[in-house]
Structure 1
Amino acid sequence: MSFENKNKADGYWKENIRLVLILLSIWAIVSFGCGILLVDVLNEYTFMGFKLGFWFAQQGAIYVFVALIFVYAAKTHKLDQKYGVDEE
């Protein structure tokens, strides 16, 4: 990956780090919030036969994490194209 100038490189990494922080925040909210803090409230509902709080703690956070990986890949592909550092 080669940037035309330092300003483009700084802009790219600023946007990339911002994206990472947003996605990690979403994952933390789902994992910690839904799996630990809100478990009693969510357990009042069921999902696929399981209490919702239990489901988030055991599987939901993992599914969200995998989905965020695909979101990150798609967003960074667009970011690479925007800054002209894509591999195509």
Structure 2
Amino acid sequence: MDKAKAEAYWKANISLIRNLLIVWAVVSYGFGILLVQPLNNIKLGAVPLGFWFAQQGSIIIFVILIFIYVSQMNKIDQQFDVHE
């Protein structure tokens, strides 16, 4: 792999990681801490939505983001011909 292609590959990789971490930070910090009071007015079953995000939501979103990362990295690997 030439240097320009390697730099483009890592730029795509870092960009993907940055975007996924931003989503996770917004969900865990924003919804779980900053917006907990307005979200508590919405119920998810018998549980306030703000409490749910603080206790379960950020973990579930993180696991979903792992699967998204794997899927997107497979596409990036195919695009740059570095797949297995």
Given the two structures, how large is their TM-score scaled by the length of structure 2?
A: 0.98
How far 1:14 moved relative to its partner?
A: 0.3
Superposition CA RMSD, Å: 0.5
Indicate which of 27, 38, 42 corresponds to 1:41.
Answer: 38
Aligned residues: 84
Q: Among the aligned pairs, what percent are the same residue?
A: 52
Indicate which of 53, 56, 65 corresponds to 1:56.
Answer: 53
Q: Structure 2 regions of 5+ residues with no counterpart?
A: none
1:74 corresponds to: 71
1:14 corresponds to: 11
Runs of 4+ in 1 over 4 A off after TM superposition: none
CA deviations on 1:9-68 (whole Å, 9 max, x unpaired) are 000000100000000000000000000000000000011320000000000000000000
